[in-house]
Homo-oligomer: A and B are copies of this chain.
Amino acid sequence: MKRYRVAIAGGSGYAGGELLRLLLRHPGVQLVAISSRSQAGRSVYKIHPNLRGATELKFSRPEELEPVELLFTALPHGRVMRQIEFFMSRAERIVDLSADFRLKDPRDYPSYYGYEHRRPELLKEFVYGLPELHREEIKGAHLVAVPGCTAAAAITPLKPLTEQFGVKLVVVDAKVGSSAAGAAASPAGHHPERAGVVRSFKPTGHRHLAEMKQELDPHDRISLNFSPHAVEMVRGILSTSHVFLEDDYDERTIWQCYLEAYGQEPFVRLVKERTGLYRYPEPKLLLGTNFCDIGFERDARTGRLVVISALDNLTKGAAGQAVQCMNLMLGLDERLGLNEWGFHPV
């Protein structure tokens, strides 16, 4: 099999490390470089200690990047848009894991991120990298922006509903692990403070809401609400979406809707059983996998749909999603290199 030449720019963070883990054993690509300004020259296993013995790679300097067929950019928000010219000069295709090119409307950046976008004309060039929604566009794309982790966890289960039914109001109440806040030490992530919390850290106005609006409610017809909570977990997101439809449907109809939307999807599983501890999606079963599990229950009293979705924020919520996009962009089997099943117990 031909191996495509790929590289990672900004590979010292958690998403970069997960990308590295996935790419090192991916049969269709050859990882030729992983750059990091702060770690240049060091062995990658010093930063990603799970890969001790897996590779001899060292971090390279960003400017040393040689031409590749596909480049992953895993830099902090705001940095990719500044260097996009350089990256585009080096890579035929770019998969950006930052927030810099996720939003189509340049006005969303000052509004949600607090800064003006530097290259607003490029926003429409990037495809929103959620294969379940945009597979065909991604296949032909040269520029893809991978969704935010809680955005992916909310949009994936909600899209079939907004598509097929009239949705009046949604409350997305997410529970997220500590790795979602990144690899840099901070008071909020200091273990004695972070351990065992149930912390409402951004009850309103979270940045990922912008993506949800864009993908689910472009015409602003839905009361779309989002509140994330930090819970005791390193990896993982459970998203509970409380959905109120304009009309009432029975569980069979909803199930049918999901089956049509996702019955053939390789990385979406419908999880809804009568019994068992894991009868609904559970993030801890998804560690390191590229699955987004979806379940739901209809509230007989109020008509509410409780839609439950789970994923690993670093895999389906970042690096796995990026690899899935890469597979599509390069014409490879979409599932290549993403064949993990999770652990139990864990």
A contact set with B: CB distance below 8 Å: 14, 17-18, 21, 24-25, 46, 48-54, 169, 171, 173, 175, 177-179, 183-200, 203-205, 209, 223-225, 227, 229, 231-236, 238, 240, 242, 244, 269, 271, 276-278, 280-285, 287-288, 295, 297-302, 304, 306, 308, 310, 339, 341-346
Contact = CB atoms under 8 A, between A and B. Distances in A.
A280 B345 contact: no
A50 B342 contact: yes
A46 B275 CA distance: 9
Contact of A285 (B50, B227, B271, B346): B50
Contacts of A288: 288, 343
B339 A25 contact: yes
Contact of A204 (B25, B199, B304, B345): B304
B175 A224 contact: no
A199 to B, nearest CB: 6
Contact of A345 (B171, B193, B278, B343): B193
22 contacts: A14-B345, A21-B343, A21-B344, A49-B278, A49-B285, A50-B285, A53-B269, A54-B341, A169-B244, A185-B187, A185-B190, A190-B191, A191-B194, A191-B234, A193-B345, A195-B345, A200-B240, A203-B308, A204-B297, A225-B301, A227-B242, A288-B288
B242 A343 contact: no
A279 B284 CA distance: 27
Given A192-B179, A227-B240, A205 B300 contact: yes
Contact of A52 (B24, B269, B283): B269
Contacts of A25: 339, 341
How many identical chains are in the complex? 4
Contact of A234 (B185, B196, B225): B196
B233 A196 contact: yes
Contacts of A204: 297-301, 304, 306
Contact of A46 (B231, B236, B269, B276): B276
A238 B199 CA distance: 8
Contact of A344 (B17, B190, B346): B17
Contacts of A345: 14, 178-179, 183, 192-193, 195, 234-235
A17, A50, A242, A283: residue with the most chain B Cβ atoms closer than 10 Å: A50
A225 B194 contact: no
A158 to B, nearest CB: 15
Nearest to A17: B344
B178 A191 contact: yes
A207 to B, nearest CB: 13
A308 B200 CA distance: 8
Contacts of A225: 242, 299, 301-302, 304
Contacts of A299: 203-205, 225
A277, A282, A342: residue with the most chain B Cβ atoms closer than 10 Å: A277
B199 A297 contact: no
B238 A229 contact: yes
Nearest to A175: B198
A50 B344 contact: yes
B301 A234 contact: no
A190 B306 CA distance: 26
